[in-house]
Structure 1
Amino acid sequence: MKAGELKINGKWLNTEDRAANKYEIESALALKPVLVHARNRRFGAALIALAAQEKTYQNTIPYHEALNLSLRFLPIYKSQAQKIVNNADELIRKRDLSLSRLSSGDKTRIERILAEEEAQYQSQLTKAKGSGGKWLPLNRFHPESAETVLKSIESESNRLQKIASEKYIDGGALYREFLQSIDKNDLDSAKLQLSEFGRTRPPKEYSDDLRDQLSAALAQIKLIEAQKKAEAKEEARKAKEEARKAKEDAKKKAKKKSK
């Protein structure tokens, strides 16, 4: 790591690989929360993380890997929410019945625990609603939240399946190809690749960086061409001067012979 290498998804990348794959690496790091939340079965949080990165990294391999993972866990998430909708009324009835049968001291203690859980849930609920209210936290005693989640799952499944089925431009590959073209001074190809890269809707700083690199390369080419023209002009001037001198020398020799 001190040498500039990076380990990502179990693979070490040297400094050259990091530079060539910068856009894809940033995409993978940005989408890491989707994988972490999904692994911990925090499916709502995983979908929020996916949506947060969608506009920026939708046309990358890491996004589509996270997208496919989301499509796999959505049925599990749906099952969790549906179970709450189906069982909440019975759970509430059993809870209330159990509380009514407890002694005064035990009832007070359990009610305090339930109140703390409810307060924590309401705090999570308020936060979720403040960020859009699409993925509300699930709670076994709140079927209304689960019903909202079920509706969101239905619409989101259709939308994500559509994205997954469509072909996309691989922004990471275009980024690498652009850098290769710049290294080879193939600026015509670089121009086309930059245009295609822009269609992937990358973060502005990436487009700006590649545009600056292309501008610098074009400026360098112009400078080299100007230097070559100046050198050619100087060579032509020297050749003309030498020809003039040679002509003058020839005239002088001819005069001497005539005398």
Structure 2
Amino acid sequence: MKEKRNRAEIVERCVELWEASVRATHDFLVEGDIEFYRPFVRENCEKLPLLLHYEGDEIVAFLGYDMTSIEMLFVDPDYRGKGIGRDLIEWAIEDVHAETVAVNEQNGQAVSFYARMGFEVERRTETDGCGKPYPILYLRLKNPPQRMVKVTGDKKAYLHLLLDADPCEAMVDRYLEESDMFVLERDGKVIGEAVVDEKGEIKNLAVLPEYQGKLYGMYILSFLAGYYKDRFSCLWVGTSEGGVGYYERYGFVQDHVVKNFFTDNYPEPIIDNGRPCVDMTLLRLEIR
């Protein structure tokens, strides 16, 4: 599962795989539908992270994902039944913490496959995302290895995590009690947390050091976007210069800068990657 070609070649091959797979499994589509969907598939292949399965030098299957949602999974018809799709899904569940996927209801093979992989139907729509009359089943993993839990008791019980993201306890006290707090559990252990205030600003987000670099921060952000989509039009986060790129990676865009925020509000210098923090950048993520 590795890339051996440039991105343009990979995209073209994935579009070819999509069409071959769809022609073999989506007998409810007509020729015009394939022509209609092809540009959307190409766009997704261009913008989404892709996991590729090679046989020799040839890509024979791929999975595309967006945060914790599996957006595409297609296998060359000649390689179906060999466990390749299962391997890709297991990787997505374990490594990018994927928990949701949408499938055509009329694609009975896919519906059965995801049921075997532990997914269950969460909701159904009569049409697909383009308004075409093909019902869609929205599936969610029944027993994911991690979960977010809202804290209803003593939020200060997680002070060690809170201080990883905001090293001044007095500052934490300003927002903690009036905000929602969630903890991320994995294998019975709390490995991360997030605090969101009444205006939709993420005031604190942290993951234990030994779990950093494993996309658990992305998982938390994905959860928050889903949890608050009916309450806020966007989520906000304030960060130092060093954190801007991290949030931009997951769809946040810069909104404005609060000059001298860290020097004006913290009694001790805040150091990020060896540099003192001065200004705070506010970023927003559209969630509706």
Q: Report the TM-score, using the length of structure 1 for normalisation.
A: 0.23
Structure having the larger proportion of residues in helix:
1
More strand by share: 2
**Higher CA-based Rg:** 1
- Higher RCO (C-alpha under 8 Å, 6+ residues apart): 1
TM-score normalized by the length of structure 2: 0.21
